[in-house]
Amino acid sequence: MDVSEKAVAAARDRLTSFPHVRIERRRLPEDTPEGQFDLVVASEVLYYWPKGVMLAALRRFEEILAPSGVMLAVHWRKETKTYPLQGDEVHELLLEHTRLANTTAMVEPEYRLDLFKDKE
């Protein structure tokens, strides 16, 4: 899902041969879909929100994640005054507040990636 109609249209065009993939235009976190998902990807989005909204989105993502599912977060690491949060700050908040286990962490000069799954 994406807030951009252009991005949604492009994804639909590319994924027409995958009928099991659902592509929707939604605004997060208030329009998070119901259901259970095997994968939740938060890429370049969580730093757009203030801390409280970002943590509310994390709770919703945890709620919709299937028991064997994973959540992937990846964000740009360069500092900017444009967003309420910085990429590293987002990932530190995720690590501090999630109920999920961090199974993979990559910190590169340009981006940071963390993969989370249920603690077993």
- Which pLDDT does position 29 carry in this prediction? 87
Closest CA to 72 of 89, 53, 86, 91: 91
Contact between 73 and 101 under an 8 Å Cβ cutoff? The reply is no
CATH no. for residue 44?
3.40.50.150
Same domain, 14 and 45: no
Collapsing DSSP to helix, strand or coil, 45 comes out as coil
Number of domains in the chain: 2
pLDDT along the chain (120 residues), means of 10: 93 94 90 91 94 96 94 93 93 98 97 91
- Which pLDDT does position 120 carry in this prediction? 64
pTM of the model: 0.87
Same domain, 15 and 43: no
Range of the domain at 111: 37-117
Sequence-ordered strand ranges (E) for the chain:
37-43, 65-76, 101-107, 111-117
